[in-house]
């Protein structure tokens, strides 16, 4: 006679349902085993796990070469995103895509929309890139190629936005401190910053703080650039702001 059933443990369990069934149907045995391991170890709010291929190989009893192959399969079949780790010798972060994750966060942004297509993604990257006055007004073919490569690698718009904000914030601070340097001329400027923050837990608090800080320094620098005490005292990058402002006025 069957009766009510209950969990053996009230905590420490994972909801494996339709999402795992989909992954099982798409992945090879080895890649699915890696997917299961990542799912069990990932932080549930972010769907991310910081990893080193050596550690994954030890945990699953596989070679590093096999782990690298499985990771490539997870990306190719759009089950996961790899935010860094170009090879078996570097650390990285793996992020499970929302459609393969059984938990829903009320704070999920449009940047994580699984229906986002490549052209929309590339356009969104360009909009973020050109929105900052410390960037030259151009979104070149090379920039678009890089954006498409990031799309293919599964780099989220949220991560890219934070890298752009961080890089531009640092540029404004350097100019405010009278450290002369060229304006940001290409999207490739943000590649090392993307790698820098890819292992971070990008909480909503961190994202808000990063936006606030960058906006604060941008406004302060723009004010200094718009009304310098003299032509000699104009802050670094002032000509960039003035030229960009003039172009924006002409196109209105």
If you write DSSP's letter for every residue of 100-131 in order, what string do you get? G-S---TT--GGG-TT--HHHHHHHHHHHHHT
Q: Is the domain of 24 the same as that of 88?
A: yes
Please give the pLDDT value at position 249.
Answer: 37
Examine residue 12 and state whether it is found in any structural domain, yes or no.
Answer: no
Q: Is the domain of 117 the same as that of 231?
A: yes
Please name the residues in contact with 249: beta carbons below 8 A apart, sequence gap of 6 or more.
none
Q: Is the domain of 245 the same as that of 166?
A: yes
Domain of residue 180, residue span: 110-250
pLDDT profile of the chain (252 residues), mean per 10? 66 79 92 94 83 91 93 92 60 83 58 64 91 89 94 84 93 90 93 84 75 91 73 51 47 38
Q: Is the domain of 147 the same as that of 200?
A: yes
Cα separation, 80 vs 69, in Å, equals 13
Q: Is the domain of 131 the same as that of 237?
A: yes
Q: Is the domain of 191 the same as that of 229?
A: yes
């Amino acid at each position: 006679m069957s009766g009510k059933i209950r969990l053996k443990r009230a905590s420490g369990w994972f909801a494996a349902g339709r999402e795992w069934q989909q992954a099982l149907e798409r992945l090879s045995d080895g890649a699915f085993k890696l997917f299961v391991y990542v799912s069990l170890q990932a932080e549930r709010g972010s769907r991310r796990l910081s990893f080193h291929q050596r550690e994954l190989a030890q945990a699953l009893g596989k070679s590093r070469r096999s782990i690298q192959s499985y990771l490539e399969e997870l990306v190719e079949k759009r089950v996961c995103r790899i935010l860094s780790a170009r090879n078996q010798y570097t650390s990285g972060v793996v992020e499970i895509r929302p459609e393969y994750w059984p938990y829903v966060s009320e704070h999920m942004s449009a940047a994580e929309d699984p229906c986002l297509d490549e052209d929309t993604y590339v356009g969104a990257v360009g909009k973020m890139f050109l929105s900052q006055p410390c960037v030259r007004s151009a979104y070149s073919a090379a920039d678009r190629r890089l954006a498409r490569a990031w799309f293919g690698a599964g780099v989220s718009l949220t991560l890219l936005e934070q890298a752009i904000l961080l890089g531009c914030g640092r540029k404004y601070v350097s100019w405010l401190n009278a450290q002369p340097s060229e304006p940001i001329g290409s999207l490739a400027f943000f590649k090392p910053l993307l790698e820098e923050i890819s292992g971070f837990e990008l909480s909503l608090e961190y994202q808000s703080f990063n936006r606030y800080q960058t906006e604060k320094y941008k406004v302060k620098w723009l004010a200094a650039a718009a009304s310098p005490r003299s032509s000699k005292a104009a802050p670094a990058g002032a000509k960039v702001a003035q030229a960009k402002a003039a172009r924006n006025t002409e196109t209105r």
